[in-house]
C-alpha cells in the first residue's frame, strides 16, 4: 500500500525561471502538489544553461521534475485569461519575475488575494521590495559578493565563489519553508498570505556567524582556502597518494590525534600547540609537524588511524566518486526520473519520513501540458500565435 503524499490536492502556479523559484516549487511537487509551470515559447532560461544530460540542461533536470509545462503569452488577452483562471483556483502562486513585473501583469499580491483570498502568494527577488537596490539585477555570484561571502571564500591571494548556486538555493529553501508555514496557518485561519524572500537576506542569514565574529570580535575571519578560519588543525593535508581532510574539535581530540595518528605523543604537551587559539596562531608550524608524518603514509592508512582515534575525516571526492559514494549506495538513495531524453539517475531528497512518500514525476518537455491545462480551464487555443510569448515578461533573479 503506497504512503500518502502530504500536499496531494494542492495546486501551485509557478511564474518562475532559473534556480531559486524552481527549487522551491520542485520540493512542493515532490510532496505531491500539482505544479503548473508557466513558460515562454523559448522556455525557462535554465533549459539552455548547458546540454550535459543527453542534450538537456543539468539545471533544468534537477529543478523541474513532477511539473506541468504550460506555454502562455502573458502579454496576450488569452494568456492573462488563462493565468487568471489558474490563480483564482490555485493554492499557491510562486514568482520570481523582475520587480514590478507581476504587478504590471495584474497578479501582484493585492490583486491576486482579492481574486483568491485563500492564495499563498510567494515572491523571490534579489534584494527585496523598497530600498535603493530593489531594481538592481541579482545573479547568484553577485549576491554572494553583496552578502560578504566572497570575503570569506578563497585564499589570501584572492576570493573564490562557492561552486554551487548557494544564494539561489538558500532563497528557494526559505521560500519552500515559508509556503509550508503559510499553508499550515491557512488551515487554521482560512486565509492566504503573502510571502517575500530576497536572495540577499536569505544568504545573509547564513552569514550570521561570520558577521557576529567580525562585528564583535574586531576583525573578519580571514580567507583560509579549505582550512577552517578559526580552528586548527582543520582542513586538507597531503598524504603519500593524495589529500585527506580532518577536523580537530577540542584538546582531547588533539591528544588522540598526536598519539594515534601522528605517533608523536610529545606534541600533546608542546606549549607551541597548547589550546586551539595557539594552534591557529601557529598554523604554519602546526602543519609542518603534521606534514612530516602524513606525507609518507597512504590515504587508507591515515583514514584508518583517524577513525581509530575518533577524529572526523573525509576523502576529497570527485563528482564521479560522489556518484558512487558507498554510503548513498548502501542506503539506497538513488532513483531514476523520467525525462524527454530518457531515464536519469537522481538523488532522493534528503528528508525521509516513515509515514509520507514522495512523488517522482517526470521532467516536462516545453509546453507539454499547454493543451490539456487550457482544456481544463475551458479555454480553446483557437489562435496558437496568441498563446506563444514573443518577449520575456521580465525575469531577473537567479
- Catalytic site positions: 228
Cα–Cα distance between 161 and 142 in angstroms, integer?
A: 10
Which cell numbers in the block locate residue 345? 539517475
Cα–Cα separations (whole angstroms), residue 327 to 149, 300, 317: 30, 17, 13
- HSE toward the beta carbon, residue 110, CA cutoff 13 A: 3
- Buried residues in 2-14 as b, exposed as e (16+ CB within 10 A): eeebbbeebbbbb
The owner of cell 576523502 is: 315
Cα–Cα distance between 386 and 380 in angstroms, integer?
A: 11
Burial class (CB within 10 angstroms; exposed 0-12, middle 13-18, buried 19+) of 277: exposed
Do the beta carbons of residue 365 and residue 355 sit within 8 Å?
A: no
Give DSSP secondary structure letters for 328-341: HHHTT-EEEE--TT
The β-bridge partners of 395 are 97
274 CB neighbour count, 10 Å cutoff = 14
Amino acid at each position: 500500500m503506497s504512503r500518502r503524499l502530504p500536499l496531494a490536492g494542492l495546486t501551485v502556479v509557478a511564474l518562475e525561471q532559473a534556480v531559486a523559484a524552481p527549487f522551491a516549487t520542485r520540493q512542493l511537487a515532490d510532496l505531491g502538489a500539482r505544479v503548473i509551470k508557466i513558460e515562454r515559447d523559448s522556455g525557462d532560461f535554465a533549459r539552455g544553461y548547458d546540454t550535459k544530460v543527453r542534450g538537456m540542461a543539468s539545471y533544468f533536470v534537477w529543478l523541474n521534475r513532477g511539473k506541468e509545462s504550460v506555454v502562455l503569452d502573458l502579454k496576450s488577452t488569452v494568456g492573462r485569461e488563462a493565468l487568471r483562471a489558474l490563480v483564482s483556483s490555485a493554492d499557491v502562486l510562486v514568482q520570481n519575475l523582475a520587480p514590478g513585473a507581476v504587478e504590471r501583469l495584474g497578479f501582484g499580491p493585492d490583486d491576486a488575494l482579492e481574486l483568491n483570498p485563500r492564495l499563498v502568494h510567494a515572491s523571490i527577488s534579489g534584494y527585496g521590495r523598497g530600498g535603493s537596490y530593489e531594481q538592481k539585477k541579482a545573479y547568484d555570484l553577485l549576491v554572494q559578493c553583496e552578502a560578504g561571502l566572497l570575503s570569506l571564500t578563497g585564499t589570501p591571494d584572492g576570493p573564490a565563489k562557492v561552486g554551487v548556486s548557494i544564494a539561489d538555493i538558500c532563497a528557494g529553501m526559505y521560500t519552500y519553508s515559508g509556503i509550508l508555514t503559510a499553508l499550515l496557518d491557512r488551515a487554521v485561519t482560512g486565509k492566504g498570505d503573502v510571502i517575500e524572500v530576497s536572495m540577499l537576506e536569505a544568504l545573509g542569514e547564513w552569514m550570521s556567524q561570520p558577521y557576529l565574529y567580525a562585528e564583535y570580535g574586531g576583525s573578519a575571519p580571514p580567507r583560509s582556502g579549505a582550512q577552517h578560519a578559526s580552528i586548527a588543525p582543520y582542513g586538507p593535508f597531503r598524504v603519500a597518494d593524495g589529500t585527506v581532510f580532518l577536523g580537530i574539535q577540542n584538546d582531547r581530540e588533539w591528544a588522540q590525534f598526536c598519539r594515534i595518528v601522528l605517533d608523536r605523543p610529545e606534541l600533546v604537551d608542546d606549549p607551541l600547540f597548547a589550546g586551539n587559539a595557539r594552534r591557529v596562531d601557529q598554523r604554519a608550524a602546526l602543519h609542518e609537524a603534521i606534514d612530516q608524518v602524513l606525507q609518507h603514509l597512504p590515504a587508507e592508512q591515515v583514514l584508518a588511524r583517524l577513525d581509530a582515534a575518533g577524529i572526523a575525516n573525509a576523502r576529497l571526492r570527485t563528482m564521479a566518486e560522489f556518484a558512487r559514494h558507498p554510503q548513498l549506495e548502501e542506503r539506497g538513495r538513488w532513483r531514476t526520473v523520467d525525462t524527454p531524453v530518457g531515464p536519469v539517475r537522481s538523488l532522493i531528497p534528503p528528508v525521509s519520513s516513515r509515514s509520507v512518500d514522495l512523488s517522482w514525476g517526470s521532467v516536462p518537455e516545453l509546453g507539454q501540458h499547454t493543451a490539456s491545462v487550457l482544456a481544463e480551464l475551458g479555454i480553446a487555443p483557437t489562435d496558437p500565435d496568441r498563446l506563444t510569448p514573443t518577449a520575456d515578461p521580465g525575469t531577473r533573479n537567479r
